[in-house]
A = this chain, B = another copy of it.
Amino acid sequence: MDKPSVTSADVARLAGVSQSTVSRSFDSSSRISDGTRQKVFAAADELGYQVNKAAQTMIKKRSDLVGLVTAGLADPFRSEFLNSLVLEIQNNGLRPMVIDVSDTHTIDVQLQSLIQYQLSGVIITSGTPSEAVAKTFIKRGTPVVLVNRADHSSEADIVNLDNEKAGALAAEALMKAGKRKLMVVRSKVASYSSVKRTKGFLDKLSPFVKQGSISLEEAFCETGNYHGGAQFGADLLASKHYPDGVFFCMDCIACGFLDALKQSNTLAVPTDIAVIGCDDISIARYQSYDLTTVRQSPQKMAAAAVSALQKRLKQPNTKPIQQKVSVELVFRGTLTESNTL
């Protein structure tokens, strides 16, 4: 059943040229006479020839694979982001290989083994590799791009959302709406993004807290998803100690919280309590939530990550680039713009 695959030598024979001419015909930067190239393409078409990437990789010491390191793909924002990354990688003539590191303590071992693939780069969206492992790649000439992982690293390029700005925008909007008993909520398990968003929120408000014009509380939910938010909401209602404005570091948590409120019917949104989320996942637009949120663009994040990777491939020795992607506040039902006027 196994048909021997057709090689450039086969094409060469049929086209009546040398094997190297065939090879060159498929390299757009090689100068080949028009006639020859035509002949070669015709022969290649006839035989159904496709370049063997493995052989190509051996010579060039680089495959066209990009490692996409993530912990799961089903989380709402994550799936949107990975979707954008896959498209962006594909549009750059590269191929995404997905590596799931949900088992986060094995990340270094898993990354090490990626050396086998002569990757064109690694984009890390979950987990943080040790400096040593990151260096292994960079020394080999394999770009490493960290997305929302840290502020600076000795060697890797970095793309971060403007997380602090996100927190600050939420804080501002709640202030303008006249809310005075504020709260910021993130998952107990700290992520870089959540910590930064929280910090942005707190920093923006700290002068007012000092003045005593507002009260401010930092709170945590058990898990960074819908159910964590729902649980958090139920607990808060039970405590009978309510804020009048809350910023959630992730939309999905905010949605869970809103559902908890809805069920108890104790507090009206946004009059009694305003809610702001972060990310603008598609669920935030659902009528049941209609969540005011700080939007980030997965497309912009993906484009920034891939372009950082490409730049590094072209100029391996320039110093690491650190980039911040902008955010914007989107008003919906859980804090309307008119509230803030």
Kindly state whether residue A341 has any CB partner on chain B within 8 Å: no
Kindly state whether residue A265 has any CB partner on chain B within 8 Å: no
> Nearest-CB distance from A129 to chain B (Å)?
15
Kindly state whether residue A58 has any CB partner on chain B within 8 Å: yes
**Is the Cβ of B74 less than 8 Å from the Cβ of A139?**
no
A157-165, A191-199, A203-211, A286-294 - interface stretch = A286-294
**Is the Cβ of A53 less than 8 Å from the Cβ of B1?**
no
**Is the Cβ of A55 less than 8 Å from the Cβ of B58?**
yes
Partner pick for A96 among B52, B57, B98, B282, CB 8 A cutoff = B98
Partner pick for A98 among B98, B138, B260, B287, CB 8 A cutoff = B98
Given the known inter-chain contacts A54-B54, A263-B287, A316-B1, please indicate yes or no for A83 contacting B74, CB distance below 8 A. Answer: yes
A8-16, A111-119, A303-311 - interface stretch = A111-119
Q: Please provide the chain A residues from 98 to 149 with a CB less than 8 Å away from any CB of chain B in the complex.
A: 98-100, 102, 112-113, 115-118, 136, 138-141
Kindly state whether residue A82 has any CB partner on chain B within 8 Å: yes
Kindly state whether residue A179 has any CB partner on chain B within 8 Å: no
> Nearest-CB distance from A154 to chain B (Å)?
14
Interface residues on A, range: 35 or more
Indicate with 1 or 0, residue by residue over A58-99, a CB within 8 angstroms of chain B CB atoms: 100101010010001110100110110011001000011111
Query: Chain B contacts of A97 at CB under 8 A?
Result: 65, 95-98
Kindly state whether residue A253 has any CB partner on chain B within 8 Å: no
Name the residue on B nearest A57 (C-beta).
B54
Kindly state whether residue A226 has any CB partner on chain B within 8 Å: yes
> Nearest-CB distance from A75 to chain B (Å)?
8
Query: Chain B contacts of A72 at CB under 8 A?
Result: 83
Give bound CA distance, A136 to B1, whole Å.
11
**Is the Cβ of B116 less than 8 Å from the Cβ of A226?**
no
Name the residue on B nearest A51 (C-beta).
B116
A256, A288, A289 — most chain B CB neighbours (10 Å): A288
**Is the Cβ of B73 less than 8 Å from the Cβ of A287?**
no
**Is the Cβ of A73 less than 8 Å from the Cβ of B86?**
yes
Give bound CA distance, A226 to B262, whole Å.
21
Give bound CA distance, A162 to B113, whole Å.
38
**Is the Cβ of A230 less than 8 Å from the Cβ of B5?**
no
Kindly state whether residue A50 has any CB partner on chain B within 8 Å: yes
Kindly state whether residue A48 has any CB partner on chain B within 8 Å: yes
- Besides A2-B140, A90-B100, 13 more A-B contacts (Cβ < 8 Å) are A1-B139, A3-B140, A48-B112, A50-B113, A52-B118, A53-B117, A54-B118, A79-B79, A83-B100, A90-B99, A226-B286, A256-B286, A262-B288
Jot down 15 A-B pairs with beta carbons below 8 A, ordered by A: A1-B141, A1-B317, A2-B139, A3-B139, A3-B140, A51-B116, A52-B116, A53-B54, A53-B118, A72-B83, A74-B80, A74-B282, A90-B99, A95-B97, A98-B98
Binding site for B on A (CB under 8 A): 1-3, 5, 48, 50-55, 57-58, 61, 63, 65, 68, 72-74, 76, 79-80, 82-83, 86-87, 90, 95-100, 102, 112-113, 115-118, 136, 138-141, 226, 230, 255-256, 259-260, 262-263, 282-283, 286-289, 316-317
